[in-house]
Amino acid sequence: MEVPKHIAIIMDGNGRWSKAHAKPRHFGHKAGLESLKKIIEAAAKRGVSYLTVFAFGIENWLRPNDEVNYLMNLFLTALRRDIGRLHENSIRVQFIGDRQRVHADLIRSMQEAESLTRDNSRMTLIVAFNYSGRWDIREACQRLAEKVAANQLSAADINEDLISQNLSTAAWPDPDLFIRTSGEQRLSNFLLWQLSYAELYFTDKHWPEFNEAELDKAIAFYAARERRFGKISEQLKGTENA
């Protein structure tokens, strides 16, 4: 079965899972972290090269302060506690997103994680933290505009490749498979440019319920898809027979 090279995931439903179990929301976030650990290992075991997860969106600052503070502390604790295991398993960790609003202690831990794991090659885990797709595209446009203003680039030279090269994800291929849990069927400002040709997989399972078996279902869905990238089936068959 063909395995996607790059999987992107919106880990949705921690709060709804907590509510269904008559627990406070932080109970679901903690359970969701445990699910993430299992999925990282499962993805690496199945030969996925890149796994991008949406950990915290810029819009998530609008949530109640106590929940935001809990998420920040949970993220910091997880980084300090679990980065060693990721390193031992040769997982490279990278972060994308706007770091201006992030606390200095958390930024320091993120940088330390990136530095420690930078030579690992089994799989790259890309964590989108304080991220939004619109922010990413805006930042790329501003960088290109600055080059045009400095006469380093002509506006006529700006094409899709140049925009891609100035996104926060420029170092990695675009995702092949997008997964969103908990029944929602939207991108929610996640990797808006990069998901243009990804296969979209939605499941009613809440994120704390998403396990290896559910990941295999998503991969099987991907393997059954015909990825045409604007071509027709006959063209693809002709390429295969060439």
Domains of the chain by residue range: 6-133+174-227
**pTM for this entry:** 0.93
Q: Two tokens at 58?
A: 């810029």
- Annotated catalytic residue, options 60, 89, 120, 189: 60
- Kindly write down the DSSP assignment for every residue of the chain, as one continuous string: ----SEEEEE---HHHHHHHTT--HHHHHHHHHHHHHHHHHHHHHTT-SEEEEEEEEGGGGGS-HHHHHHHHHHHHHHHHHHHHHHHHTTEEEEEES--TTS-HHHHHHHHHHHHHHTT--SEEEEEEEEE-HHHHHHHHHHHHHHHHHTTSS-GGG--HHHHHHTSTTTTSPPPSEEEE-TT--S-TTSSTTTTTTPEEEE-SS-GGG--HHHHHHHHHHHHHS---TT--HHHHHHHHH-
Q: What is the pLDDT of residue 1?
A: 83
Query: Which stretches of the chain drop beneath a pLDDT of 70?
Result: 227-242
CATH topology for the 6-133+174-227 domain: Undecaprenyl pyrophosphate synthetase (3.40.1180)
Q: What is the pLDDT of residue 68?
A: 95
60 counts as catalytic: yes
Q: Tens digits of per-residue pLDDT, 107-148?
A: 999 999 999 999 999 999 999 999 999 999 999 999 999 999
Q: What is the pLDDT of residue 161?
A: 97
- Annotated catalytic residue, options 12, 136, 174, 176: 12
Residues contacting 94, CB < 8 A, separation 6+: 114, 124, 125, 126, 127, 171
12 counts as catalytic: yes
